[in-house]
Amino acid sequence: MGALSIRNVRRNYGPIQILKGIDIEVEAGEFLILVGPSGCGKSTLLNIIAGLDVPSDGSIHIAERDVTYALPKDRDIAMVFQSYALYPNMNVAQNISFGLEMRNVPKPEREAAVKRVATTLQIEHLLDRKPGQLSGGQRQRVAMGRALARNPRLFLFDEPLSNLDAKLRVEMRAEIKRLHKIAQVTTVYVTHDQVEAMTLGDRIAVMREGAVEQLGTPDDIYSRPATRFVAEFIGSPAMNMVVGQCAADAITAKGIDLALTPAQRSALHAANAPEITYGLRPESLAFGDAGLPGTVTMLEPTGPETYALVDTPVGHMIARVPGKVPHAVGERVFLRWSAEDAHLFDAKTERRVA
C-alpha cells in the first residue's frame, strides 16, 4: 500500500455520477497530477482526499490509515488553494505560523519553522508585510509556506497557478518542482493545464467524465496515449486525426494509403476494426518534395517555431516546424512523416490499437 490509496471512489449527486470508481495508488514522495477538462471530477476527487467531501462509495487511505470519514484536521495534510486563502489582517510570518499555533506548537518551534520556510522560499524580506502588499507570486509563495511549515504527510494543490500571469506561472512551476525535490512529500496536484502536468508530475492521471482515462508517466501519456481523448488533450497543438478505412493490414483515407510499420500492420490485422483513426503529432510532420499534397492556409510564427495549417485531401493538418516556414499562405506543399510516429486508434472504441 502506498502513501495514498484511492480505492473505488465514487461520488454521486442524486442520479448524476461525478466520480465513477477511481483506483489510484500513490507512492511515498511521488508527485501525482490530476489533469482533465472542466467538469471531469478532478477537484471533487481532491476534496474527497482532503476530507472536504465524502465519497458515495469507496475509501481513502493515507499512510495505511482509513481516513474516508476523518475530519481534514485529522488527516495530516496541507492544502494550497487557487485563491491563496491568506488572512488579510495577518502579516506573512503570522500567516505561515497560524496553523502551527492552532495545534499548540510552542512559540520557539513556530518561529524556527517560519525562518526555515521563509529561507527556502526566499521570502525573508516579506515577513512583516500584509497579503495586500504582496504580488500574486509572493502570495502564492506564502500559501505554500504555510503548507510547508506543517511538514505534513500529504500536500494537496488545487490549481494553485491559475491566477498568475504566464511569466509567473513558469517561475512558480520551477519553484514547486524545486520544493518537492527538497521536501520529498507525497503530492497530489490538480490542474487543467497540460504543460503543468507534463513538467511537474512523476505520474499523470488524465481524467474524463469522472473516470481515469489513463494513468502513467508524462512520457507514457505523451508517447503512448491509451485513447484518442488522451492523445488530443495532451499536446499543443492537438494531435492531427484522420479517420480511414481498414482493409486487412492497410489504412486508406480518401483513396490515400497511410504509412504503416510492419508492427502496426500486424496490430491492425489482430484488431479487425473496420475504421481506424490515424493520429500524428504536429511536430512529426515536415515539408518535403513528395508526400501528402496540400495547400498552406495559415501560418502562426511563435519565434523559435511556426505552426502551419495545411489543407489536404484527408483534412486539415497542423505542422509544427522549427524556425520560419519557407512557404507562403496559398502555396502548394507536400507533408511527410515517419510511420513510426503514427498513433492508431479504433474509430469506434477510441482505444489505442498500436
Residue-wise pLDDT for 175-191, tens only, equals: 889 888 888 899 999 99
> What's the predicted TM-score (pTM) here?
0.89
Residues 195 and 109 in one domain: yes
Q: Which amino acid is at 52?
A: L
Q: Among all chains, which residue has been given the C-alpha cell 504536429?
A: 282
For residue 140, the model assigns a pLDDT of 85
DSSP H or E segment with residue 149: helix 136-150
For residue 141, the model assigns a pLDDT of 86
Q: How many C-beta neighbours within 10 Å does residue 96 have?
A: 30
For residue 305, the model assigns a pLDDT of 94
Residues 219 and 249 in one domain: no
Q: Among all chains, which residue has been given the C-alpha cell 495534510?
A: 77
Residue 290 belongs to what domain range?
239-346
Residues 121 and 210 in one domain: yes
* Final residue of a structural domain among 209, 231, 253: 231
CB-based contacts of 287-290 (< 8 A; 24+ apart in sequence): 287/319, 287/321, 287/325, 287/326, 287/327, 287/333, 287/334, 287/335, 287/336, 288/334, 288/335, 288/336, 289/334, 290/334, 290/336
For residues 251 and 245, what is the distance between their CA atoms, to the nearest angstrom? 6
Q: Are 98 and 106 in contact (CB under 8 A)?
A: no
DSSP H or E segment with residue 119: helix 107-121
Residues 167 and 296 in one domain: no
Residues 18 and 38 in one domain: yes
The set of residues, in sequence order, having a beta carbon less than 8 Å from that of 8 and lying 6+ positions away, is: 21, 22, 23, 57, 58, 59
Residues 214 and 191 in one domain: yes
For residue 1, the model assigns a pLDDT of 53
Q: Indicate whether 104 belongs to any domain.
A: yes
Question: Maximum Cα–Cα distance for the chain, whole Å?
Answer: 77
For residues 305 and 156, what is the distance between their CA atoms, to the nearest angstrom? 35
Q: Indicate whether 76 belongs to any domain.
A: yes
Q: What is the pLDDT of residues 142-163, one digit of tens each?
A: 988 888 888 889 999 998 888 7
**Residue 335: left (phi > 0), alpha (psi -120 to 50), or beta?**
beta
CATH code, domain carrying 49:
3.40.50.300
Q: Which residues of the chain are modeled with pLDDT < 70?
A: 1
Number of domain units in the chain: 2
Q: Are 62 and 68 in contact (CB under 8 A)?
A: no
Burial 163-188 (b: 16+ CB within 10 A, else e): ebeeebbeebbebbeebbeebebbbb
